[in-house]
Amino acid sequence: MPILPIASVRTGMTLSSDATRPDGVVVVTAGTVIDGNNLSRMRDLGVEAVAVRGGSSTRRARSQTRIHAAGKRPADDPAAVEDRLKRLAAMFSEHRQDPVMRELLRLAVLCAREGLVRG
Protein backbone atom coordinates (compact mmCIF):
# COMPACT_ATOMS: atom_id res chain seq x y z
CA MET A 1 0.00 0.00 0.00
CA PRO A 2 2.02 3.02 -1.19
CA ILE A 3 1.95 6.13 0.93
CA LEU A 4 2.60 9.32 -0.95
CA PRO A 5 3.39 12.84 0.15
CA ILE A 6 0.43 15.01 -0.76
CA ALA A 7 2.51 16.85 -3.38
CA SER A 8 2.86 13.59 -5.30
CA VAL A 9 -0.81 12.62 -5.17
CA ARG A 10 -2.67 12.89 -8.48
CA THR A 11 -6.34 12.86 -9.44
CA GLY A 12 -7.67 9.44 -10.36
CA MET A 13 -5.85 7.64 -7.54
CA THR A 14 -7.97 5.90 -4.87
CA LEU A 15 -7.41 6.36 -1.15
CA SER A 16 -6.71 3.02 0.51
CA SER A 17 -7.04 4.45 4.03
CA ASP A 18 -8.59 7.57 5.50
CA ALA A 19 -6.68 10.81 4.84
CA THR A 20 -6.26 12.60 8.17
CA ARG A 21 -5.15 16.00 9.37
CA PRO A 22 -2.14 16.19 11.75
CA ASP A 23 -4.58 16.10 14.69
CA GLY A 24 -6.12 12.84 13.47
CA VAL A 25 -9.40 14.21 12.12
CA VAL A 26 -10.48 12.39 8.96
CA VAL A 27 -10.63 14.68 5.91
CA VAL A 28 -11.43 12.20 3.12
CA THR A 29 -12.44 8.60 3.74
CA ALA A 30 -10.83 5.43 2.38
CA GLY A 31 -12.12 4.26 -1.01
CA THR A 32 -12.63 7.78 -2.35
CA VAL A 33 -11.33 8.41 -5.87
CA ILE A 34 -9.24 11.56 -5.68
CA ASP A 35 -10.46 14.46 -7.77
CA GLY A 36 -9.46 18.11 -7.95
CA ASN A 37 -11.85 19.11 -5.17
CA ASN A 38 -10.85 16.63 -2.53
CA LEU A 39 -7.18 17.03 -3.43
CA SER A 40 -7.41 20.79 -2.76
CA ARG A 41 -9.32 20.09 0.43
CA MET A 42 -6.63 17.71 1.71
CA ARG A 43 -3.93 20.25 0.90
CA ASP A 44 -5.85 23.09 2.54
CA LEU A 45 -6.51 21.11 5.70
CA GLY A 46 -2.88 20.11 6.19
CA VAL A 47 -2.91 16.44 5.14
CA GLU A 48 0.69 15.69 4.35
CA ALA A 49 0.62 12.14 3.07
CA VAL A 50 -1.96 9.55 2.07
CA ALA A 51 -2.11 5.84 1.34
CA VAL A 52 -3.27 5.24 -2.22
CA ARG A 53 -3.84 2.43 -4.66
CA GLY A 54 -1.91 2.77 -7.87
CA GLY A 55 0.59 5.35 -6.60
CA SER A 56 4.35 5.28 -6.33
CA SER A 57 5.92 3.00 -3.73
CA THR A 58 9.49 4.08 -4.20
CA ARG A 59 11.80 4.23 -1.22
CA ARG A 60 12.14 7.99 -1.77
CA ALA A 61 8.40 8.51 -1.65
CA ARG A 62 8.13 6.45 1.52
CA SER A 63 10.95 8.35 3.15
CA GLN A 64 9.09 11.57 2.48
CA THR A 65 5.92 10.25 4.05
CA ARG A 66 4.92 12.03 7.22
CA ILE A 67 1.28 12.00 8.18
CA HIS A 68 2.11 13.70 11.48
CA ALA A 69 5.15 15.30 9.99
CA ALA A 70 5.59 18.40 12.10
CA GLY A 71 6.64 16.55 15.24
CA LYS A 72 9.03 14.25 13.43
CA ARG A 73 11.07 16.85 11.59
CA PRO A 74 14.07 18.47 13.25
CA ALA A 75 12.77 21.44 15.21
CA ASP A 76 14.82 23.93 13.24
CA ASP A 77 13.91 22.50 9.83
CA PRO A 78 12.55 25.59 8.02
CA ALA A 79 9.71 23.54 6.51
CA ALA A 80 8.69 22.26 9.97
CA VAL A 81 8.72 25.80 11.36
CA GLU A 82 6.65 26.94 8.38
CA ASP A 83 4.13 24.13 9.05
CA ARG A 84 3.78 25.23 12.66
CA LEU A 85 3.30 28.86 11.73
CA LYS A 86 0.53 27.85 9.31
CA ARG A 87 -1.15 25.77 12.02
CA LEU A 88 -0.96 28.69 14.44
CA ALA A 89 -2.40 31.10 11.88
CA ALA A 90 -5.32 28.73 11.26
CA MET A 91 -5.78 28.10 14.98
CA PHE A 92 -6.04 31.79 15.84
CA SER A 93 -7.96 32.85 12.73
CA GLU A 94 -11.22 33.34 14.64
CA HIS A 95 -9.59 35.75 17.08
CA ARG A 96 -7.96 38.30 14.76
CA GLN A 97 -9.81 41.20 16.37
CA ASP A 98 -9.09 40.16 19.96
CA PRO A 99 -6.09 42.01 21.44
CA VAL A 100 -5.41 39.37 24.12
CA MET A 101 -5.41 36.55 21.58
CA ARG A 102 -3.27 38.59 19.17
CA GLU A 103 -0.62 38.97 21.87
CA LEU A 104 -0.78 35.27 22.69
CA LEU A 105 -0.32 34.47 18.99
CA ARG A 106 2.67 36.79 18.83
CA LEU A 107 4.37 34.88 21.66
CA ALA A 108 3.45 31.51 20.15
CA VAL A 109 4.94 32.56 16.81
CA LEU A 110 8.10 33.73 18.58
CA CYS A 111 8.48 30.33 20.29
CA ALA A 112 7.73 28.49 17.04
CA ARG A 113 10.33 30.49 15.11
CA GLU A 114 12.93 29.68 17.75
CA GLY A 115 12.20 25.96 17.44
CA LEU A 116 10.86 25.72 21.01
CA VAL A 117 7.47 24.55 19.82
CA ARG A 118 7.69 21.05 18.42
CA GLY A 119 4.11 19.81 18.17
Partner 1 sequence: MADIREVLDNFGDMPILPDVVAKLTQLIASPRTTASDINEILSRDPSLTARILRLVNSSYYGFSRRITTITNAVVILGFNQVRNLALSAFIMDNFSVSKASGFDMKAFWRHSIGTALVAGHIAKGLRVKLEEDAFVCALLHDLGKSVMAMKAPEDMRAVLAVVEAERIVFHEAEKKTLDYDHATIGAALMERWNLPELMVEVARCHHDPESASEETRPLASVVNFADIIARSTLMGSAGDPFIPRLSPEVFERTGLNWPGVEAIMRRSALEYRESDLFFAT
Report the interface residues with partner 1, using CB under 8 A. 21-27, 45-46, 70, 84, 87-88, 90-92, 94-95, 98, 100-101, 103-105, 107-108, 110-112, 116-119
- Burial environment of residue 16 by CB neighbours within 10 A (0 to 12, 13 to 18, 19 or more): middle
Q: Which is nearer to partner 1, 79 or 90 (CB)?
A: 90
Q: Which is nearer to partner 1, 60 or 98 (CB)?
A: 98
Q: Which is nearer to partner 1, 33 or 111 (CB)?
A: 111
Find the shortest distance in angstroms from Cβ 106 to partner 1: 9
